[in-house]
Structure formats: C-alpha cells, structure tokens
C-alpha cells in the first residue's frame, strides 16, 4: 500500500512541476519583446496582415485566455505551430526527438560500458597506476569542453585516419540506395527490424564519434562515482568474509560489491542522460546531426517561442520521468531504501 501512496504523491508532484514549467515558459514568451504575428506573416508584412495573424494565433485575446487555450491544446497532444515554418510542432518533434534520443542513448551505453569497469578496477586497485589513469580519464571527461572534444575526434579519425565519417546521420549513398524505413525514428532499430543491414552499419558508424563526444561527461562521472562507492563497499564486513571464504576476486568485485555500488552510479548516469539531451546542441551542430538541439537552436535564433516552449516541456517530462524511475529502481535494488 505504501508504494502506491508514494507513487501517487510523486506523480502529483510531477504534474505540479510540469504545470509550473508551462506557466513560466508561457509568460516569459509573452514578456520577451517579439512579434510572433509579424514572423508568421513573413518578411515585409503589412499592418493588415499582422492584425489578421494576431487573430489567427489568438494573440488578440487576454493573456489568461491565451494560456487556457494553450493548455487545452496541450492536453490533446497539440504543441501548436511553428511561427517560422508553419509546421505542426508535434510533427517536427517526431522527426528530431528520436534522432537526439538515439544519440544520447548510445552515448549513455558507452558511458556504462566504459565507466563501470574502469570505476570498479580503479576502486579495487586504489592508488595503483590503473587507478591514476582512470582518475585522469574521469577528470578529462568531466572538464574537457564538448565542442573541443568533438573537433579533436573529427580531426584525428576523419582528417588524419579517414576511418570515420565527419558528420550527419547517414551518408548520401545510404539515403539513395538503402533508405531507412521510418517506424520508430531510431535508425538503428528501424534498419535492424526491416533487415536493412547496410543502413544499420552506416548508422552505427556515423554514431560513434558524436555519441562518444556526448558521452564523455557521463563516462567521467560514471568512473568517479563507481570508484568512490566501490572503495566504500570493499571495506564492508561481508566483502572481507567473502575473501576469507576463498571466493574469486572477480566474483567479489563484479557480483557482490558492484551490486551495492552501482545504485548511486545509475542515478548519476540517469540524470546525466537528461543533461545530455539539453547539452546535445553543440554536438549536433558540430556533427551536422539532425536532432532536437539543432531544432531548438534555430528556434532560439528565430525567436520561435512555440517551439522553445514545446522543447522545454518535452525535456521536463523526460527529467521528471527518469528521476521517478530511478527512485523506484533504487528502492527495488536496495531494500534499505524506504518509500516514505
């Protein structure tokens, strides 16, 4: 019974957060000096055209009425229309959001695959050469600017070695001869499901550099968090007892100790996932990746507030959902955690 009360309370809090974000973004969009009606009409608009556009967009109504109209549309899954492209924003999100999520997911998987083993071994061999190298890698991953990392990788793997593409999601030849059939918007999944192996391989190759660039921050966090929690866990009594019983060190590290040390790491990685969604702007620009970052960048430059508000709400939903999921997962993995 307690878990359902906790879940209901967290869902109510999540709804309150989303409502607050919608109110803040809506009123900021109305306070910042701009003229959406003029942008809707296009270059060199007349006064009559602007007046007609204000009526069409509902800008002639009181502010509270505009907000209720916006929330009514939002409850039906309608994010409005872009004032620059005149396209429904939900249609654009279905195109750009999967591209960014695929990039972030691959970067997060890289962070787990690289960061957890390094963190475990670094914690187990404290102050060794491996520990110093792991800590150096972690510091570099956290502190190095994303755009600088991306440019260095492009210069080395594309410019020097010529083994990885410079950017984009797939190359032109794949688009022409092996186009990806859109099902989920995730090219890796869609190409694999439809048996389009050339597109799958090409998508995977194009993902390596931008995903690693985006995941370097999460890799550094994963190494540091796993190392610190492993050092604490390895000092527990049950670890000493396991070693005295002759259990292999590999089993102790990766089965007994890691089970308890992994919980804070998963929480940090989950939060860095949402951070990567918002921080993908520079990576997508550098690698010409057609994702949410480039989309919202163009919206900011064009003062396209409906798009900015939609992207803000989407990112907020992701943050709230992942934060709630990690709290529930932590309670499931660690019986010491109570759902109070």
pTM of the model: 0.86
* Per-residue pLDDT reduced to its tens digit, 239-280: 888 888 888 888 888 888 888 888 888 888 888 887 888 778
Query: For residue 109, is pLDDT > 90?
Result: yes
More confident residue, 129 or 37: 129
Number of domains in the chain: 1
Q: What is the pLDDT of residue 147?
A: 83
* Per-residue pLDDT reduced to its tens digit, 57-88: 777 788 888 888 888 888 888 888 888 888 89
- Contact indicator for 165, 289 with CB cutoff of 8 Å: no
Which pairs from 179-184 meet CB under 8 Å and 24+ separation? 184/98
Q: What is the pLDDT of residue 339?
A: 55
Per-residue pLDDT band for 145 (boundaries 50, 70, 90) equals confident
Domain-located, residue 84? no
Q: What is the pLDDT of residue 83?
A: 84
The mean predicted confidence, pLDDT, of the chain is 85
* Per-residue pLDDT reduced to its tens digit, 300-332: 877 788 888 888 888 888 888 887 777 777 666
Tell me which residue of 68, 54, 57 sits closest to 23, measured CA to CA: 68
More confident residue, 157 or 271: 157
CATH of the domain at 102: 1.10.3720.10
Domain-located, residue 70? no
The percent of residues in the chain predicted with pLDDT above 90, rounded, is: 31
Domain containing 155 equals 93-305
Per-residue pLDDT band for 340 (boundaries 50, 70, 90) equals low
Domain-located, residue 13? no
Q: What is the distance between the alpha carbons of residues 186 and 102, in angstroms, rounded to a whole number?
A: 6
Q: What is the pLDDT of residue 197?
A: 94
Contact residues for 245 (Cβ-Cβ < 8 A; gap 6+): none
Domain-located, residue 30? no
- Contact indicator for 134, 231 with CB cutoff of 8 Å: no
Tell me which residue of 57, 65, 63, 60 sits closest to 83, measured CA to CA: 57
Domain-located, residue 223? yes
Domain-located, residue 145? yes
Query: Residue 181 gets which letter from DSSP?
Result: P
More confident residue, 117 or 281: 117
Give one DSSP letter per residue of 110-178, joined into a string: HHHHHHHHHHHHHHHTTTSHHHHHHHHHHHHHHHS-HHHHHHHHIIIIIIIS--S-SSSSS-HHHHHHS
* Per-residue pLDDT reduced to its tens digit, 182-232: 899 999 999 999 999 999 999 999 999 999 999 999 999 999 999 999 998
Domain-located, residue 63? no
The percent of residues in the chain predicted with pLDDT above 70, rounded, is: 95
Domain-located, residue 78? no
State the burial class of residue 335 (Cβ atoms within 10 Å of its Cβ: 0-12, 13-18, 19+). Answer: exposed
Per-residue pLDDT band for 169 (boundaries 50, 70, 90) equals very high
Give one DSSP letter per residue of 80-103, joined into a string: -B-TTT--BHHHHHHHHHHHHHHH
Q: What is the distance between the alpha carbons of residues 124 and 253, in angstroms, rounded to a whole number?
A: 8
């Amino acid at each position: 019974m307690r878990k359902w009360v906790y879940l209901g309370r967290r869902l109510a809090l999540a709804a309150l957060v989303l409502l607050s974000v919608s109110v803040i973004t809506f009123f900021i969009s109305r306070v910042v000096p701009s003229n959406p009606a003029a942008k809707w009409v296009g270059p060199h608009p007349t006064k009559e055209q602007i007046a007609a556009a204000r009526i069409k967009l509902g800008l002639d109504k009181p502010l509270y009425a505009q907000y209720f109209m916006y929330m009514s549309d939002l409850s039906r899954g309608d994010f409005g229309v872009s004032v620059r492209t005149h396209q429904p924003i939900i249609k654009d999100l279905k195109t750009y959001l999967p591209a960014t999520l695929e990039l972030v997911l691959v970067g997060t998987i890289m962070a787990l695959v690289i960061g957890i083993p390094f963190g475990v071994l670094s914690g187990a061999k404290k102050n060794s050469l491996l520990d110093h190298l792991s800590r150096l890698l972690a510091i570099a991953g956290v502190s190095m600017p994303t755009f600088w990392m991306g440019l260095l990788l492009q210069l080395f793997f594309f410019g020097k070695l010529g083994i990885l593409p410079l950017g984009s999601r797939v190359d032109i030849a794949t688009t022409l001869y092996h186009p990806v059939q859109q099902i989920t918007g995730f090219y890796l999944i869609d190409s694999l499901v439809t048996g389009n192996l050339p597109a799958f391989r090409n998508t995977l190759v194009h993902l390596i550099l931008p995903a690693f660039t985006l995941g370097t921050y999460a890799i550094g966090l994963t190494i540091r968090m796993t190392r610190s929690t492993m050092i604490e866990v390895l000092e527990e009594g049950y670890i000493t007892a396991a070693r005295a019983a002759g259990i292999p060190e590999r089993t102790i590290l990766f089965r007994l100790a890691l089970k308890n040390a992994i919980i804070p790491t998963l929480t940090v990685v989950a939060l860095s996932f949402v951070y990567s969604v918002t921080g993908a702007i520079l990576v997508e620009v550098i690698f010409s990746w057609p994702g949410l970052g480039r989309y919202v960048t163009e919206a900011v430059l064009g003062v396209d507030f409906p798009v900015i508000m939609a992207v803000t709400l989407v990112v907020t939903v992701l943050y709230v959902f992942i934060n709630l999921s990690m709290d529930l997962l932590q309670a499931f993995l660690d019986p010491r955690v109570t759902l109070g």
